[in-house]
Chain A
Amino acid sequence: MKLPAFEYACPATLAEAVALLAGDGDAKVLAGGQSLVPMMAFRVASPSLLVDLRKLADLRRIEITAAGVTLGAMARWRDIEDDARLKTAHPLLKAAVAEVAHYQIRNRGTVGGSIAHADPAAEMPGIVVTCDAEIGVVGRAGPRNIRAADFFIAPLTTALAPDEIIVEIRLPAWPAGRRWAFKEFARRRGDFAMAGTALFYDVDSGGKARDAHVGAIGVGDVPQRLAAAEAEINGRAVDIAVSERAGVAASAAVTPQSDIHASAAYRKSLLGTLVERALQSACA
């Protein structure tokens, strides 16, 4: 369980960090290390070089503007938890982050690290997909933006090129009055969820829901939006009956895998229940 041998670099600039990654095909970025280091302990990952981003202080910022919320890739769970502005600027993000990992992990783990790690049950990938976030990355060829929907390819696999570093996550602005909820189920709080949902919708002047976004985690290879559940919500006044139908649609739309934590059938059913409960709490 000791880590395999590797080289270590701690660059002072982003350009240096990119150059280090570009110069070594087996190099990995070290952000908070709360997923990468365990993977190295299990020898699932054995990078030749770790490029530590801890000196890039600018990557830890949390910016709130009219355009939305920008999270620097090195922002930690604890930073989000402590930022009172986010309660109104992005309550869904705040609620989801409250479920991320245990106390000590929250003091080190970063949003960029979680996205790059791409665990299918993790909260942050679910939030960026549900909220149509944009992921700003920089590599040898310069900066580019990746839509969250195009970012996650398979479990632990993303659209990031080996020489690219996530710089920031941009979440679109959150209008006042938006209805939302985050629900997940884990045997012990802080553990990875067996299934979870992040959802929101806006309400028009006639009381009807529009622009519904229903995201699911833990029930597929990657976090996903569930169009069938969204279709049950859009154009309707959300109530118990709509919540139930959306839950049924969500459950039918996913094809989870069985593993040691839960069977596929259980996860499928669990997701339906969570979507139904989330909608009931969103419309209450």
Chain B
Amino acid sequence: MKVSFEVNGNTVSVDVEPRLSLADCLRHVLRLTGTHVGCEHGVCGACTILVDGAAVRACLLLAVQAEGSRIVTIEGLSNDHELTPLQASFRRHHALQCGFCTPGMITTAHALLTEEPDADADRIRDVLSGNLCRCTGYISIIEAVLDARAAYKKPAP
């Protein structure tokens, strides 16, 4: 089936089987391998991407369902020049070890802080409870997200 959607600002058209997950479409067809595939049944959160601004699990979406959507992947949350505030905070707090879960952590944290720049540690823990880190570095991840909040706050009018 032919499907068109936007990925990180670019319109793409792909021809895929209905059974192809959006995660596999991003990785294997569009070669955006930053989105990691862990459990493939919606439990680990590694494949989290943003669809129309909302954090979702790309392994539980079919590529054909993405028709007309605006998708942002981990590649869309970084740039070639410098670390974003969230990336810099992860680095500062040693919030990644093997790094497998990191794309999902960053996309989820970005969605959360964009909507709730004042999220407290409990709220961040609650939201990130849907993302597994098998190095178990959760405490530094929570600290990194807490520390990145300032960058998401709108300047006072």
A residues near B, CB below 8 A?
1-8, 10, 30, 33-34, 37-38, 41-42, 50, 52, 54, 78, 101-105, 107-108, 188-190
Q: Which residues of chain A come closer than 8 Å to B45, judged between CB atoms?
A: 102, 104
Asked if B76 is an interface residue, CB under 8 A from chain A, the answer is: no
Known: A8-B64, A37-B59, A190-B126. 14 other contacts (CB 8 A): A2-B40, A4-B19, A6-B19, A10-B64, A30-B65, A34-B42, A34-B60, A41-B41, A102-B45, A102-B130, A104-B45, A105-B60, A188-B129, A189-B129
Shortest B61–chain A CB gap in Å is: 7
User: Bound state CA distance, A39 and B60, in angstroms?
Assistant: 10
Query: Considering residues B41, B60, B130, which has the most beta carbons from chain A within 10 angstroms of its beta carbon?
Result: B60
Cβ A3 vs Cβ B60 within 8 A: no
**B interface bracket (residues with beta carbon within 8 Å of A):** 20 to 34
Chain A residues with CB below 8 A from B55, complex form: 103-104, 107
Residues on the B chain within 8 Å of A103, using CB: 55, 108, 112, 126-128, 130
The smallest C-beta distance from B131 to any residue of chain A, in angstroms, reads 8
- Whether the Cβ atoms of B62 and A8 lie closer than 8 Å is yes
CB <8 Å contact, B130 and A5: no
Main SS class of interface, A: loop
B21 beta carbon closer than 8 Å to chain A: yes
**Is B32's beta carbon under 8 Å from chain A?**
no
Q: Which 3 A-B pairs have the closest CB atoms?
A: A102-B130, A8-B18, A1-B40
Query: A41 with B65: in contact, given A5-B17, A33-B60 (CB under 8 Å)?
Result: no
Cα–Cα distance between A108 and B147 once the two chains are bound (Å)? 29
- Closest Cβ–Cβ distance, residue A231 to chain B (whole Å): 37
Q: CB distance A78 to B60 under 8 Å?
A: no
How far is the CB of B115 from the nearest CB of chain A, in Å?
10
Q: Pick the contact of A3 from B21, B67, B108 — CB < 8 Å?
A: B21
A37's contact among B17, B24, B60, B64, by CB below 8 Å, is which? B60
Q: Is B56 an interface residue (CB 8 A)?
A: yes
Closest A residue by C-beta to B125? A189
Which B residues are CB-close (under 8 A) to A1? Answer: 39-41
Contact B54–A52 (Cβ < 8 Å):
no
Query: Cβ of B60 and Cβ of A8 under 8 Å apart?
Result: no
- Nearest chain B CB to A99's CB is how many angstroms away? 11
Task: Given A1-B41, A33-B61, A189-B129, check contact A104 B19 (CB 8 Å).
Answer: no
